Amino acid sequence: MASHNLKTVIGFEFFRIIKKRRFWVTTLAIPAAVAIVFGLVIISGNSSSTTADAQKNARLAFQYTDASGLVTDALAGTFGGTRTSDNAEAIAAVRAGTLEAYFAFPADPAKQPIRVYGTDKGVFDNGRYEAVATQILVSAAQQKIDSPQLTAVTQGKVKTKSQTYKDGQVSGGIGVVIPPLLFLVIFYLCIIMLGNQMLSTTLEEKENRVTEMILTTLNPTTLIIGKVTALFMVGLVQMTVFALPVVTGYVFFRSKLSLPDVDLSTLSLQPGPMIVGALLLAGGFLLFTGTLVAIVEVVPTVKEAGTAFAPRMNMLLLPFEVACLS
């Protein structure tokens, strides 16, 4: 009979929560927001890269002087430039609007800035002057070096692949740490979103005097265990909703996603850390759920429950606050 009552409580509480439209709106809001943010970042990055390439390769009607001796007339001509010996006249022409731009390349580009003068094209288009001037000087330096390998090295375009060892065995480094930390992220997301639900799941019945009627036919222990188990199952549903898009995207679409500076091949899903992370997630969530339900059983109103809930949330966020301060 007790087993039947427990199943009834679990089923009632679980389906009562997941059937609410508010629950699904709240649950799906975070994955949707994350997807939108990532989409905007990717689109913005691609747009910025395209704009930068277009600016540095744009053709301008400009004049230049070169004290460094690096820029040749042929190179400047590919960008639409002509050499001049009178910088004052060139600046005056830019100021009058008869010349689009004037670049003065210094004798020591490593220590001295390139002086750029241009007609105002608007906040977003004015950046092309500096982009073109810089690209001209970079191209001139590459021509002087005349070696693709040395050019790549001087620009820092080199790749490294590290391998570390611990106790004679290959260690995964940071790639082993990141996957288990995902369990921590899921834990915090769930408790933040389910905290108020945990508080209200019993207080609604207490304030409406429904609990008194329920306890006439149901053991209090069965009621509490059923509520905790139901909330734990709801948390598993939310964890699945959070994790499913990430897993699906990685398994089926990782080759199509052009995420900059993200090398997922460095991540190592070692069984030991992953199992420990999963167990800590389950145990921590169950402990937090049981603690909140116990608080709700002690306090009589939602206001007092919120007062008791806030310090425990602060304690959970304390490690992040200490890390930020340090």
- Which domain covers residue 266, as residue numbers? 2-32+164-325
Q: How far apart are CA 296 and CA 227, in angstroms?
A: 11
Tokens 């997301």, located at residue: 189
Instruction: For 213-235, write each residue's pLDDT tens digit.
Output: 666 666 777 777 777 788 778 87
Question: Tokens representing 38?
Answer: 């990532």
Does residue 318 share a domain with residue 211?
yes
Please check whether residue 45 lies inside any domain of the structure. no
Indicate whether 92 and 241 sit together in one domain. Answer: no
pLDDT of residue 117: 93
CA-CA distance, 86 to 73, in Å (whole number)? 16
Same domain, 107 and 255: no
Q: How many domains does the chain have?
A: 2
- pLDDT digit string (tens) for 153-211? 766 667 766 667 777 766 666 667 777 888 887 777 777 767 666 666 666 666 666 65
CA angle in degrees (0–180, nearest 5) for 9-13-14? 115
* 159 belongs to a structural domain: no
| Run of H or E residues at 107 | none
pTM of the entire predicted model: 0.50
Co-location of 59 and 179 in the same domain: no
The answer to whether position 201 is within a domain reads yes
Q: Which residue has the higher pLDDT, 107 or 35?
A: 107
Residue with tokens 């959070």: 242
179 plus 314 within the same structural domain = yes
pLDDT (tens digit per residue) in 53-105: 555 555 678 899 999 888 888 888 888 889 998 989 999 999 998 898 999 99
Asked whether residue 243 is domain-assigned, the answer is yes
